[in-house]
Amino acid sequence: MLYTFAYTPARGIDTQYVPVRISGRRQNTAQKFILQVMADSSTAQAGVHYKALDEYYAIPANKGDTNVPIIIYNKDPGLENKSVMLRFKLVVTSDFDVNLPTLITKAIA
Q: Spell out the per-residue pLDDT of the chain, length 109, in tens.
A: 889 888 898 999 999 999 999 888 899 999 999 999 999 999 999 999 999 999 999 999 999 999 999 999 999 999 988 999 999 998 888 888 877 666 667 788 7
Domain of residue 78 covers: 13-108
pTM of the full structure: 0.87
Read off the CATH number of the domain in which 96 is found. 2.60.40.1740
**CB 28, CB 102: distance < 8 Å:** no
Residue 60 lies inside a defined structural domain of this protein: yes
Residue 59 lies inside a defined structural domain of this protein: yes
- CA 102 to chain CA centroid, Å, is 16
Distance CA 57, CA 59 (A): 7
94: burial class by Cβ within 10 Å (0-12, 13-18, 19+)? exposed
Structural domain count, the chain: 1
Residue 1 lies inside a defined structural domain of this protein: no
Please, where are the H alpha helices in the chain?
none
Residue 2 lies inside a defined structural domain of this protein: no
